[in-house]
Structure 1
Amino acid sequence: MSETDEPTLAGKLERISSSYEIDPVWQRRLYEILHANPELSMQETETHRRILTELGRFDCEVVAPVGEYGIVAVFRNGDGPSVLYRADFDGLPVTEDTAVSYASHKVVPGPDGKPVGTMHACGHDVHTTALLGLCDVMDHTREHWSGTFIALFQPGEEIGAGAGAMVDDGLVERVPRPDVCFGMHVMPGRAGQVMSKAGPQFAACDSIRVTIPGRSAHGSMPHAAVDPTFTAAMIITRMQGIVGREVDPDDFAVVTVARMRAGSTNNIIPAEAELTLNCRFYSDKTKAKVYASIERVVHAEVLASGITDAPTIEYFAHGELLSNDAVVYNKVRPNFDAVFGTDSVRAPRKTVSEDFPSIPLAFGVPYFFWLIGCTPRGQWDAAVRSDRVNEDVPVNHMSTFLPEYEPTIDAANRAALTAVMTYLAR
């Protein structure tokens, strides 16, 4: 290479790797500690403390708490762009069913007060471990980059509350405004593959609580009642017609009736019934159309029942459509291809949801969110060959979900550094 040649980012990353390497023993130990000690959403006291302890080793400004358990670490290194990278760190009310020595055995009171097992069944322990690893590299390789690196550690993703809580607690005013936001998620797929795409990656979602009015009477006197369970059954039936007959077959929508609640005993027609729906979309336009149809059906069926009281419709557990900015994607993806070669692949759209977009939307900046495969390659390839991926591969939120550590954390580390250095490399 001549003196006038500009080294590629891949070449710069090789120089960084040769000058500083994350201590694999430290990072593995950190991961195992996090995995063995999951905490439920918005209850992450010990995880919050652990992250603060780890950040204490670095030359950064720590802003905490933000939204009770959120943490932001700001690494300043002269003039240049600002880049924010986010990781979530809450666990799930799932009892772990793996044989690893660092499996979680924690049992805590659940929302109903009954004991419940806890587990990092979604890979947030990997996310947090990788971001702390990235902090370690950024802190020790300042000669290779300039600008501002912002590491954001978020609680409460599993209930869709953590990002909003941080925004509501003044996140935008308390930390530098980034030029771009990054994030990633481990998912089933060949361990170590980096999967990315422009446009919709994760679905928009909402839950909807519908309260259906009726008139109570003894079970022997149905003529004196207006039975809300019958009305609920009609609504449930009509819900399937919304997706099947009102949504373009080339589009995508899910309307799931996740819960029906009515009555308290065996011989009384109840005074009301309650439905809880879960809805998912890749298009905000389709979402608006489906929600209008849901409200139309609910009001019409209640009116058809003969009751004059109005139903109530409450939206909650909102998740924004996660749609990657094409300009950012087209800037970072070539570097993923250069660093990972054939392991940089196109991501499939996923019907799961994330509250990550709430953070870049609050700042009004573009974002890019990619996926890291975490399934042992032999297991994944065998499942694909036999067309048994759904049966043979544990997925996020299952009690047997466990990323293959080495290739997963290696890809998570390198992808994070590649994306950030796309903007901050000298």
Structure 2
Amino acid sequence: MKTGYLLPTLWLALTSVTWANSPDWVTDQPQLEALYQDLHRHPELSFQEQATAQKLATQLAELGFEVTTDLGGHGVVGLMFNGDGPTVMIRTDTDALPITEETGKEYASKVRVTLPSGAESGVMHACGHDLHMTSFIGTARQLAANKDQWQGTLMMVAQGAEEVGGGAKAMLNEGLFERFARPDHILALHVSASLPAGKVAIRPGYTLASVDSVDIQVFGKGGHGAYPHTTVDPIVLASRIVLALQTITSREISPLEPSVVTVGSIHGGTKHNVIGNEVTLQLTLRSYSPQVREAQLAAIKRLSAGIAMSAGLPPELYPTVTVHEQESIPSTYNDPAQTAQVREALQLALGAEQVEDTEPVMAGEDFGLYGRTGDKLPITIFWLGTVEPEQFNAARINGTALPSLHSSHFAPDYRAAIPVGVKAMTQSALMLFNANPAADPF
């Protein structure tokens, strides 16, 4: 006979309120708010998250996790074993962005760095990773304090370098699933700058897009600006390429398939009266389907070469197209069956009125890589509302734009968002721990 198992809905209905309203939770809230402010004040850029990782590792160790540090850079893995059962992995990202904060908050970041380009910049948690980490630690505390409500292995993974698409790759390449545990379920949350605090949003299937950074080096034959007929102007060629690229999504990709080809940067020339030899275009590509991604890349190469040919350039001067594979990440696909379970847990934890359906977005997240290994493990990421409700309602009434993610003015309502993040993630983990029968101890 199997023991230690109840149907998920019945089990959560019996237990979902007990931990969230306990005295321990009330005591924990000020500690988590202090952690959030500390993380926000002391952000670190991608692959530089040493102090941040140490803070998280210390907190996990104090809770009784077996902790390993410095995996894939400054990644942290914490394991808690609690009998036979599934392995549930909860992931947070830890890095910040080179943005000078302009929120005016008392706990605002004052960190300054010199970037590889030589430019000076502030550093800010403008994508909410500080809230992700705070919810992560709060969830670890709740699950460690309520081990009688779950069986299995809890795997807490703090991953750096999400903003450059390198952290998940690095941890997987160093044997995350082989050296530690192969998860049965993988969870994450991400803050939303367009959802009021108190709410969460979720969807099955494609949720975030694949991302590629692409450079096009356009060549020409330079000369005097007064004698353009003796040159092949790379600025004109680059301009033609920019316009031609607009036809990839509008004329080469099915209207039913999401596709974005954006030229974010163009650099060329040195002086008013000089026609130079080359121009550099920098692009970002977004899609959900791998087939669309391949079609985008093939079209970029074909169109660029065709325009160079039409200008009379020899093949050795055709544009070069470089894909920065180290920054490429796949789309994020929420496993439909697992996501349905998580949605049920969110509704039980927060109330059905606090859980919204959401549309997919063209932003990227390297969380999707955890579901793209050979094992094809199920992953689910959901959105955590962070906008102060009065600000949210005023923006809707007035038609004003809210500060977006990656904005120097992004200031989440962390006091309202933290408990929701912890409750949502804890109940999601509990649902998945108890969704399958525990191993028979007899």
Q: Helix, strand or coil for the counterpart of 2:367? A: coil
Matching residue of 2:399: 387
Tell me if the contact between 1:258 and 1:277 (Cα under 8 Å) persists in the aligned partners. Answer: yes
Matching residue of 1:313: 321
Tell me if the contact between 2:370 and 2:379 (Cα under 8 Å) persists in the aligned partners. Answer: no
Q: Helix, strand or coil for the counterpart of 2:247? A: helix
Superposition deviation, residue 92 in structure 1:
0.9
Superposition deviation, residue 87 in structure 1:
0.4
Query: Residues 400-411 of structure 1: matches in 2 within 5 Å?
Result: 400-411=409-420
Letter in 2 for 1:172: F
Instruction: Give the TM-score normalised by structure 2.
Output: 0.90
Tell me if the contact between 1:10 and 1:339 (Cα under 8 Å) persists in the aligned partners. Answer: no
Letter in 2 for 1:374: T
Letter in 2 for 1:270: G
Superposition deviation, residue 5 in structure 1:
8.7
Q: Helix, strand or coil for the counterpart of 2:90? A: strand
What are the Cα deviations for residues 18-44 of structure 1, in whole angstroms up to 9, with x where unaligned?
565361121111110000111111111
Where does the alignment leave 5 or more consecutive residues of structure 2 unmatched? none
Letter in 2 for 1:16: W
Tell me if the contact between 2:16 and 2:348 (Cα under 8 Å) persists in the aligned partners. Answer: no
Letter in 2 for 1:331: Q
CA distance in 1 between counterparts of 2:109 and 2:73 reads: 24
Matching residue of 2:50: 45
> What number of residue pairs does the alignment pair up?
420
1:159 aligns with 2:168: no
What are the Cα deviations for residues 118-143 of structure 1, in whole angstroms up to 9, with x where unaligned?
11111000000111111112222212
Match of 2:383 among 342, 346, 371: 371
Match of 2:425 among 401, 416, 419: 416
Match of 2:354 among 334, 343, 348: 343
Matching residue of 1:131: 136
Matching residue of 1:16: 19
Q: Helix, strand or coil for the counterpart of 2:431? A: helix
Letter in 1 for 2:390: G
The more displaced of 415-424 and 329-338 is 329-338
Letter in 2 for 1:138: L
Matching residue of 1:257: 263
The change in CA–CA distance for 1:296 and 1:408 in structure 2 (over 3 A counts) is: same
Instruction: Give the TM-score normalised by structure 1.
Output: 0.94
Tell me if the contact between 1:63 and 1:174 (Cα under 8 Å) persists in the aligned partners. Answer: no
What are the Cα deviations for residues 255-306 of structure 1, in whole angstroms up to 9, with x where unaligned?
1111111123343322221111111123333222222222211111111121
CA distance in 2 between counterparts of 1:5 and 1:321 reads: 35
Match of 1:323 among 329, 333, 336: 333
Q: Helix, strand or coil for the counterpart of 1:23? A: helix
CA distance in 1 between counterparts of 2:224 and 2:399 reads: 53
Match of 2:366 among 355, 359, 369: 355
CA distance in 2 between counterparts of 1:229 and 1:18 reads: 64
Tell me if the contact between 1:210 and 1:276 (Cα under 8 Å) persists in the aligned partners. Answer: yes
Tell me if the contact between 2:73 and 2:167 (Cα under 8 Å) persists in the aligned partners. Answer: no
Matching residue of 1:149: 154
Where does the alignment leave 5 or more consecutive residues of structure 1 unmatched? none
Tell me if the contact between 2:91 and 2:159 (Cα under 8 Å) persists in the aligned partners. Answer: yes
Tell me if the contact between 1:16 and 1:144 (Cα under 8 Å) persists in the aligned partners. Answer: no
Letter in 2 for 1:397: H
1:61 aligns with 2:66: yes
The change in CA–CA distance for 1:155 and 1:361 in structure 2 (over 3 A counts) is: same
The change in CA–CA distance for 1:334 and 1:37 in structure 2 (over 3 A counts) is: same
Letter in 2 for 1:223: H
1:183 aligns with 2:191: no
The more displaced of 158-167 and 175-184 is 158-167
CA distance in 2 between counterparts of 1:206 and 1:410 reads: 35
The change in CA–CA distance for 1:338 and 1:17 in structure 2 (over 3 A counts) is: closer
Match of 1:207 among 213, 233, 238: 213
Tell me if the contact between 1:180 and 1:360 (Cα under 8 Å) persists in the aligned partners. Answer: no
Tell me if the contact between 1:10 and 1:335 (Cα under 8 Å) persists in the aligned partners. Answer: no
Superposition deviation, residue 185 in structure 1:
0.3
Superposition deviation, residue 366 in structure 1:
1.0
